[in-house]
Amino acid sequence: MGDIRIFTAADLGTLIAHLRTRGYRVMGPTRRGDAIVTDEIRSIADLPHGVGDTQGPANYRLTERDDGAYFGFAAPAQSSKPVFFPSEEVVWRGRRDHEKGGHFTVERDTLKASPVALLGVRSCDLRAVQIHDRVLSSRQYKDAHYTARRGGTLVIAVACGEPADTCFCASMGTGPRPAATDPQTGEPAYDLLFTEVLDKDNHHFVVEIGTDAGREVADAIEAGEGTGHDQAQAIEITDAAAARQTRRIDRKSVHDVLRVSAESPRWDDVASRCLACTNCTMVCPTCFCTTVSDVSDLTGENAERHRVWDSCFSSEFSYVHGGPTRESTKARYRQWITHKLSSWEEQFGMLGCVGCGRCITWCPAGIDITEEAAALGRMSGLGSKASAAMT
């Protein structure tokens, strides 16, 4: 048994206040209109208290819960991705310098961001952050803004006990209970891991300590000590959540299925349904493609370069020397799913999908990545019988 603590709902509020006192910008789930998003949390009142959700292909609805749960929902509409990798940001600013003959002076944008306490991050989204760490901050050329934002992050994960109909993290090995360490680096995956326990007589959080930094925070809250029984109860909750997931992808075969399916007639079928709206890539917690946009003021004296999220579903994304290399929706969908479930592994040593199910929920046509992968498996003869979505 590890170091276990028991937090009450009041302790959760004390935790948020304590983190803010220590200078952290607390980012977590909160309700905005008819969706749960990730945004700044200033007090426990900002958490989605008593709010649940239902999700299905092309369907997302919030529901009211009568049990007072603070984390009684599945994946929020947007993951933690924008916290460290916003959809648009300034890369550099330029201005005309008349004292230097009218030449432009360019200054790289620098960040003065407070350290982030990532509160309530789900296991799938935590794995996505680890993937972004590999892609954006561990290669020869690092993303300076991402690396600066990630520095000093305190991770307070929440194990998921309420998977949506669209979730398949269990089959991807990314949830609903997060691994204790990053599988690529071996570093601790979280500082604190919360599991919300709700029964007719009690509402509390089982808190598992992941790092010394997490222990220091837990000590400051002076929460009660937990036992091995409490930890076992927490594990039972996530085991039950995994058992309720009906969608899955066969990780053993999907890589090879995609490699031999380049000319599959399935691409014509999915292209007849896909709107190329880019929703799947905008909500995906691991997509990282960007473009740049240059803007200037009306005087022409000042200019900025912005980095903006892009999508492999747009025709401009593959535009090279007079035209796009992927002209059709068929080619773009094939590129997207092949990268996620196959070539990402050659590129980064892991798959690029964490099983959060957002691409299914937010696709207006209800296209299901698990069903497309299963269909390709059946048609190629390489997929296992169990790889089909069981819906």
Q: What is the pLDDT of residues 328-385, one digit of tens each?
A: 999 999 999 999 999 999 999 999 999 999 999 999 999 999 999 999 999 999 977 5
User: Is the model's pLDDT at 201 over the cut of 70?
Assistant: yes
User: Is the model's pLDDT at 390 over the cut of 70?
Assistant: no
pLDDT score of 98: 83
Lowest-pLDDT range of 87-101, 129-143, 219-233, 376-390: 376-390
Average of per-residue pLDDT across 281-303: 95
Q: What is the pLDDT of residues 95-126, one digit of tens each?
A: 998 887 888 899 988 888 899 999 999 999 99
Strand, helix or coil for residue 226? coil
Average of per-residue pLDDT across 63-68: 95
CB 27 within 8 A of CB 39: yes
pLDDT score of 347: 94
User: Is the model's pLDDT at 389 over the cut of 60?
Assistant: no
Q: What is the pLDDT of residues 141-188, one digit of tens each?
A: 999 999 999 999 999 999 999 999 999 999 999 999 999 999 999 999
Distance separating alpha carbons of residues 110 and 350, to the nearest angstrom: 31
Which residue pairs, CB below 8 angstroms and at least 24 apart, start in 16-20? 16/41, 16/42, 16/43, 16/44, 16/119, 17/43, 18/217, 18/220, 18/221, 19/117, 19/119, 19/154, 19/217
pLDDT score of 168: 98
pLDDT score of 388: 47
**pTM given for the model:** 0.94
Q: What is the pLDDT of residues 242-284, one digit of tens each?
A: 999 999 999 999 999 999 999 999 999 999 999 999 999 999 9
Q: What is the DSSP letter of 1?
A: -
pLDDT score of 151: 93
User: Is the model's pLDDT at 387 over the cut of 80?
Assistant: no
Average of per-residue pLDDT across 130-135: 97
DSSP string for 152-191 = TPEEEEE--S---TT--HHHHT--SSPPSB-TTT--BS-S
pLDDT score of 386: 52
pLDDT score of 391: 38
CB 248 within 8 A of CB 386: yes
pLDDT score of 208: 97
Distance separating alpha carbons of residues 24 and 114, to the nearest angstrom: 6
pLDDT score of 385: 58
pLDDT score of 322: 87
Average predicted confidence (pLDDT) for the chain: 94
Percent of the chain with pLDDT over 70: 98
CB 208 within 8 A of CB 388: no
Token pair 């326990």: residue: 197
User: Is the model's pLDDT at 312 over the cut of 80?
Assistant: yes
Instruction: Name the band, by pLDDT with cuts 50, 70 and 90, for residue 2.
Output: confident
